[in-house]
Amino acid sequence: MTHLERMDLVYFWTGSPALPASEDGFQPMPSVTIRPADDAHLPTANTCISRLYIPLYSSRATLRHKLLLAIKTKNFGFV
């Protein structure tokens, strides 16, 4: 991922535009939850608890494509 894509991922995942500067870091710590296999859906995130939900995709290429699509959409809201 490029630097900008990584920044977008942090924002998508945590709701914070950058990594925290303090030694305490994120509270709560970001985590990833793997969902059941599903190539049809995009990853989602719960920014209140810094949790990223990723379906178990059939390939790395599908994971990369879906994750980049999700973070570039910038259509945030309740799902």
pLDDT single digits (tens) 39-70 = 999 999 998 898 999 999 999 999 999 999 99
What lies within 8 Å, CB to CB, of 23 at 6+ separation is: none
Residue 9 structural domain: 1-17+29-57
Q: Which of 40, 48, 61, 79 is catalytic?
A: 48
Q: What is the CATH number of the domain that holds 52?
A: 3.30.2410.10
- In this prediction the pTM is 0.82
Q: How would you classify the pairing of strands 44-46 and 51-56?
A: antiparallel
Instruction: Indicate the DSSP class of residue 29.
Output: P
| Percentage of the chain exceeding pLDDT 70 | 87
* pLDDT for position 17: 81
Instruction: Reply yes or no on whether 13 is catalytic.
Output: no
- List the one residue out of 35, 1, 6, 5 whose CA is nearest residue 19: 6
Domain assignment present for residue 39? The answer is yes
In angstroms, the CA 45 to CA 52 distance is: 4
> Looking at the domain assignment, is residue 2 inside a domain?
yes
36 lies in some domain: yes
